[in-house]
Structure 1
Amino acid sequence: MKPADDHIPLVRPAQDPQPQASAPAAGSRRSAPRLFALDGLRLVAALCVLSFHWTASTDSRETYGGKVPDQFMPGISSVSSYGWLGVQLFFIISGFVICMSCWGRRPGDFFVSRVIRIYPGYWAAVLLTTSVLVFVPHLGRAGAREGLDIKTVLANLTMFQGQLGMRKIDGVYWTLVAELQFYLLFAIVVTMGLTYRRVVAFCGIWAAASLFAPETNIPLLKTFAMPQEAPYFIAGVAMFLMYRFGPNLLLWGIVGFTWVVALSRIHQVKVIYDQAAGRPLSWAVIALVITLCYVVIIAVALGFFDRIQWKWLTVAGALTYPLYLIHQEAGWTLIHWLRTLGLGTGAALGLSLVAALFTAWLIHRLVERPVSGLMKRHLNRSLATMRTASDQPAGK
């Protein structure tokens, strides 16, 4: 799930900082208000994933006394079984917002913005989930506590637990690895200097790599090409170019191509979620939801939501990342506890959602904001020292 920047000015700049290498003047756009719609869509994506884990996933059976959700709330489960597609929406938004937030920034600024945005809230979520699993083990999933030791916790705090040979404390962390890989790839273009031409080239090269990677025997290429996730990130980047410079046939072609690739690879991920939901999912419904994800972000790019100026949506966007990080294992534990108190399933789910949103707000206000500010000051100071030292002649 994407930890997009909550405080960047999401506006159409009146002028490209590098016009000589960008789109023609006819494609540029005038400034527009902050894209509050993206904040709201991010929260919608997180709530969709939450609904899947709480009311459709077979992994929640211990939460409901050994029953899978489809057995006692089939009506809700039949819809929420597709909630995992919120991740695909989030990846498209990530491509859009990361490209936007990087435009006109130096590589060091990009590095700092990502570190201070993803780590403070993540650290809080890891420690919270670990505390829940350790101190109330009789209410959580038995499998979630296996091998939970200090080495596992420390590895998870790096966000590279998989690369360090450790398991994830919470299953939702897998999307963060995809995000980090996207950041690493996009950092190449940021280092070269963002221009319209280079970003389009990046989209084309990555799309080609994601197509051919599955047929190769090169593990590193498969890892970074991300065949399953790449279409969504690339589409988001191209949609941002539409937003900034206006749509044209080239950008429509990139978006359309990634959409076709995404639909053609549904069967690969469908197998996984058929098992996770405990029911066969419809290819047509998945394709429809993915198409709607594309359509809604295209609508944002074309300015259809510019009139939405609801300030509370910035709060919704701020809650998204911590809510996503804490909702699964800790959420299941809370629902289980409330049900042991005699609450019905509906009441337990409602109270758990309120508690999760409030906890996400606390993480944002008490951890993310102060820690991010502190880290930003010190990292910027470190970069300034590095730049000063790098400008000095060798030997001095």
Structure 2
Amino acid sequence: MSSFRPVSVSSGNRRISWDLVRGGCVVLVLLYHATYMSVVVHPELGPRRFAFPHQVGASLLLVISAYFAAVTIGRGSLGRYWWGRIARLLPPFLAAVVVIYFALRYLSPPGWFSPRFGDLAGNLLMLWNWKPADFPFLDGSHWTIPLQLMAFTVAALLYRGSWGHGRKFRVVMWTALLVPLAQWPLRVAGPPEWYRVIVDGFGFHRWHLFVAGIAVRLWTTKRVSTAEFALLEVLCVGAHALHGATVTPSGIRVEWGSTIGIAIGIAVISLAAAGPDWNRFVPAFAQRAITWFAGVSYGVFLIHQAIGYLVLHWLSGLGADPLLQTAGMLATGVVLGWALTRLVERPAHRFLMRGYDSWTARRRPGDEPIPVAAGKPR
């Protein structure tokens, strides 16, 4: 590995490799929910013919998100960077929560969770990680959204000062990786509720995923050595193993499937970031389909799970084969995700960014933060 020389990759041109990686991660999320979690949450649906029981896709999406945050943070003003992330993530999330609420409220069969208005408010405010017993998820996929919003906000704040650059930022990365690892024994030992609220609310046990993505960016731009990069990623995989581990009377039980999946995924992300585009290996017709799916993948991610379980229930009641049920859930998720992208995500993002640009244009020129060249500390 030490002989491999990484190549810095610009995000200016769309690359089929990133579309393939992002779309593949969302497919893993779909398969995990359709073939495994569906039966965990609703055993009455009956066994599936095929099960993918590893929570890998959503975690890898956080790695990818962190990588691209590191790629783009130095382009333009920090205010526009931060607002662009909010404008991209928040409107489709809020719309998905409302749609899912009404679907579950009025279409859930007897015995299934039927949310009340308080559940809608709690989900719109993203309160689940803080008090999960009081604020149940309307859709379990949404756990990533507040973590991304917090990460983008912290990234912008760090980048404004010296702690977002150079050696100081490497100290921040190592701290974000090692501190959650150090507190893991306390986390699994039944800590007091106030401690759990802080640790889970701020997602301590997921920070390694952001470190993994940022480390890929620093490596491809030669700001960390290959040896340090490899050590960071090995520790990130180890942190993920502990995150998914359970303590039993016979010892610590690690969910190796997810751990190995994360390790493979980080390696694939590193190859996508450091190497040439994969377009030479993908036929043109497949590239169009992959690019289209990647373009609607966030909408699919947001809206497929809870409504998809309703689809499984209806198809099961019609006597459909489990494979057909799974196909129905996946197809419904893609169609609804496409609609969410077309009707909410893209127009809301354009509207909010035009509003931001108009607002900053009316300010005095000296009020707008000075753009900082990527990778150059102040």
TM-score range, shorter chain: 0.7 to 0.9
Structure 2 partner of 1:65? 44
1:206 aligned residue: 176
- Letter aligned with residue 118 of structure 2: K
Partner of 2:105: 134
Match of 1:40 in 2: 20
Counterpart for residue 380 of structure 1: 357
State how far apart, in whole Å, the 2-side matches of 1:188 and 1:335 are.
44
With structure 2 as the length reference, what TM-score do the two structures score?
A: 0.78
**Structure-2 separation of matches of 1:196 and 1:312:** 40
Residue 296 (structure 1) shift: 0.4
- Preserved contact between residue 43 and residue 319 of structure 1 (Cα < 8 Å): no
Q: What amino acid sits opposite 1:205 in the alignment? A: T
Deviations 1:309-335 (A, max 9, x none): 835433222222111111211100011
Greater CA deviation, 171-180 or 224-233? 224-233
Cα deviation, residue 293, structure 1: 1.1
Of 334, 337, 348, the residue aligned with 1:357 is 334
Alignment of 1:1-396 (within 5 A): 29=8, 33-57=13-37, 59-60=39-40, 62=42, 65=44, 67=46, 69=47, 72-73=48-49, 76-77=50-51, 80-82=52-54, 84-138=55-109, 142=112, 144-145=113-114, 148-160=115-127, 162-163=129-130, 166-192=135-161, 195-197=165-167, 199-214=169-184, 219=195, 222=199, 226-243=203-220, 245-246=221-222, 249=225, 252-263=227-238, 265-271=240-246, 283-307=255-279, 310-384=287-361
Helix, strand or coil for the counterpart of 1:105?
coil
The change in CA–CA distance for 1:58 and 1:311 in structure 2 (over 3 A counts) is closer
Query: For residues 318 and 208 of structure 1, what CA distance do their matches in structure 2 show?
Result: 35
- Do the aligned residues in 2 keep the contact of 1:60 with 1:332 (CA within 8 Å)? no
Partner Cα separation in structure 1 for residue 256 and residue 329 of structure 2: 32
Q: Which moved more, 1:313-322 or 1:363-372?
A: 313-322
Q: What is the deviation of 1:299?
A: 0.7
Contact 1:213 / 1:222 at 8 angstroms: preserved in 2?
Answer: no
- Distance between the aligned counterparts of 1:59 and 1:232, measured in 2? 27
Q: Percent identity over the alignment?
A: 19
CA 1:240–1:168: 2 relative to 1, 3 Å = same
- CA change 1:138–1:85 in 2 (3 A) is same
Encode CA deviations 1:224-265: one digit per residue, 9 max, x unaligned: 87442222211111111223x24752x541442342343255
Change (3 A) 1:255 1:181: farther
Task: Check whether the contact 2:211–2:236 (CA below 8 A) recurs between aligned residues.
Answer: no
Contact 2:95 2:344 in 1 (8 A): yes
Deviations 1:77-115 (A, max 9, x none): 2xx012x11122112111111111212232211221111
Contact 1:94 1:236 in 2 (8 A): yes
Once the two structures are TM-superposed, the CA of residue 357 in structure 1 deviates from its matched residue by: 0.7
1:206, 1:284 → 2: CA distance? 23
One-letter amino acid of the structure 1 residue matched with residue 299 of structure 2: P
Structure 1 residue ranges without an equivalent (≥5): 1-25, 275-279, 392-396
Q: For 2:120 and 2:9, how far apart are their aligned partners in 1?
A: 48
| Residue segments in structure 2 that go unaligned for 5+ positions in a row | 369-378
8 A contact 1:121–1:363 mirrored in 2: yes
Equivalent-residue separation in structure 1 for 2:323 and 2:7 (angstroms): 50
Q: Does the C-alpha gap of structure 1 residues 209 and 264 become closer, same or farther in structure 2, counting only changes over 3 Å? A: closer
Q: After superposition, what is the alpha-carbon deviation per residue over 1:17-49, rounded to whole angstroms, capped at 9, x for unaligned?
A: xxxxxxxxx998586853332222122112212
Maintained 8 Å contact 2:240/2:259: no
Is 1:331–1:352's contact at 8 Å kept on the other side of the alignment?
Answer: yes
May I ask how many residue pairs the two structures share in their alignment? 345
Over the aligned positions, Cα root-mean-square deviation in angstroms equals 3.4
Shift of 1:199: 4.2
Shift of 1:208: 3.6
Higher RCO, Cα 8 Å, sep 6+: 2
C-alpha separation between the residues in 1 aligned to 2:183 and 2:362?
Answer: 40
Alpha-carbon distance, 1:61 to partner: 5.5
- The answer (yes or no) to whether the contact 2:181–2:239 under 8 Å persists in 1 is no
Shift of 1:163: 4.9
Distance 1:199 1:255, change over 3 A: farther
Kept in 2, the 8 Å contact 1:181–1:224? The answer is no
